[in-house]
Structure 1
């Protein structure tokens, strides 16, 4: 008889187990991050269904605590606004700003890093000086100044975060492109007369995506924290509810009613934790080589 240790999995199950998704799901921290992120995405997706209406409307008595009334499970703030409604709708704003800001940073960082690493020479020196200029200015202070000048709104906050967060990614992409620029595949394409754009987009960047994918999750988490900090300081969009704005408003009653600031603060912590756990898992999977199957 065949021992249990020697029984092989069916081909489809074995292929899934050995795939990138299968290896990612086998890591407890990454799986936890995925579950938490799925929960936050569910909050954003079902916010209108579960909490119809404007979350900024005064819905009940001020400063109800969690459990005081069945209608307001998490209580209300100083203005009588439903905290649960604000947290669910705030998830949509935070994910939107985090995702779009990260996309802006990815486009700028990948573009500058790829051009700098591939062409070298004067182009490399000029683009690296620009990158160093952005790195010398603290990103949060730069974002703060841009938002204050452009007036706070979801669009300006997203653009400001994206514009100020790409420098580290650009250096990372440049290093990868420099390494891959001299690879046999790239050199063969040059000899065969392939265009620079074809070499960069088809042969170099696809092989440099591993660190970029990991960085993307960190960029989203950083963007969510930055937006929350801006809203806490009163530079958030006043026409939408956000987790940072809720924390900022709750600081006025933090001694008497700490739940007003603590509950949206917990939501921020969970979102950032989920993205960091997922980023760590992706880093382990994408950088693992020769793993036993």
Structure 2
């Protein structure tokens, strides 16, 4: 056992080096780490309430050293809004992705492993969710209930899982008929033990890769909902800032452009990181 572990360690280190040397993965990881650090340190970098009216409205970037990125039409600090908006957007994206992953993984595992009538019923539910565009579905849910961080995350999460469920189902079906699972069945292992110990760890590849795309999609969806006025009014978010700045886009472009650039950079970082993960897992698959 120790000899096998010793042989596996060089491969793991080699895979990690390949991952770090991949430009897309390295750039995406660094950008995402910087954005997360900014979100965590927002209260130290820019103390105070980002929704507070702190200065004269329509201060342009660089006009006042105290507000390097200027102020919006109400006199709110744009830099504070960007810092705290990163926290709000990432929290909603992380929570919605967690919900999507839990639903998608559970549905895919049970459908792929047990098959039969359970697979057919889960497939019907999946097809139903896929017939309605996720954004319109989330829009309807948020419009019915009171917009808040939790309701927005829940709306995005329960509408974003079908594609992941199909990926996990396909992977589980391949593993279900593999030698490892058949050996566990022959040894008398229970279905739950086989799913948790044998199938789930080996079906995590599409989950990890798809999670980065789910986070990026959730950020875009939350921004779109806030742009339409369905964001949490008690919290600063990039979508709320873009939505507020659209009214003065021609005269004071920076109010909407700066949070828009923050969204673009974050989504780009997540997509680059996803490409790096896909490359890494492709290396494992080849080996």
Q: TM-score, normalised by structure 1?
A: 0.93
Deviations 1:219-239 (A, max 9, x none): 000001000000000000000
Q: Distance in 2 between matches of 1:102 and 1:224?
A: 10
**Residue in 2 that maps onto 1:104:** 99
Structure 2: any 5+ residue segments left out of the alignment?
A: 1-5
Tell me the secondary structure at the aligned position of residue 236 of structure 2: coil
Mapping for residues 129-140 of structure 1, pairs under 5 Å: 129-140=124-135
CA RMSD of aligned residues (A): 1.6
- 1:213 matched to 2:208? The reply is yes
Mapping for residues 197-276 of structure 1, pairs under 5 Å: 197-276=192-271
**Residue in 2 that maps onto 1:32:** 27
Tell me the secondary structure at the aligned position of residue 78 of structure 1: coil
Check whether the contact 1:210–1:287 (CA below 8 A) recurs between aligned residues.
Answer: no
**CA gap 1:17/1:69 in 2 versus in 1, 3 angstroms:** farther
Mapping for residues 1-293 of structure 1, pairs under 5 Å: 15=10, 18-289=13-284
How far residue 211 of structure 1 moved from its aligned partner, in angstroms, is 1.2
**Residue in 1 that maps onto 2:3:** none
How far residue 18 of structure 1 moved from its aligned partner, in angstroms, is 3.3
**Residue in 2 that maps onto 1:6:** none
Q: Distance in 1 between matches of 2:45 and 2:94?
A: 23
How far residue 20 of structure 1 moved from its aligned partner, in angstroms, is 3.6
Check whether the contact 1:246–1:260 (CA below 8 A) recurs between aligned residues.
Answer: yes
Check whether the contact 1:16–1:22 (CA below 8 A) recurs between aligned residues.
Answer: no
Structure 1, 131-140 or 282-291: larger mean CA deviation:
282-291
Q: Distance in 2 between matches of 1:175 and 1:104?
A: 20
Q: Distance in 2 between matches of 1:169 and 1:63?
A: 44
Q: Distance in 2 between matches of 1:46 and 1:113?
A: 37
Q: Distance in 2 between matches of 1:241 and 1:166?
A: 27
Structure 1: any 5+ residue segments left out of the alignment?
A: 1-10
Check whether the contact 1:17–1:23 (CA below 8 A) recurs between aligned residues.
Answer: no
Q: Distance in 2 between matches of 1:35 and 1:17?
A: 21
How far residue 125 of structure 1 moved from its aligned partner, in angstroms, is 0.4
Tell me the secondary structure at the aligned position of residue 112 of structure 2: helix
How far residue 192 of structure 1 moved from its aligned partner, in angstroms, is 0.9
How far residue 290 of structure 1 moved from its aligned partner, in angstroms, is 7.7
Tell me the secondary structure at the aligned position of residue 76 of structure 1: coil
Tell me the secondary structure at the aligned position of residue 225 of structure 1: helix
User: How many residues of Structure 1 are paired with residues of Structure 2 in the alignment?
Assistant: 280
Check whether the contact 2:245–2:253 (CA below 8 A) recurs between aligned residues.
Answer: yes
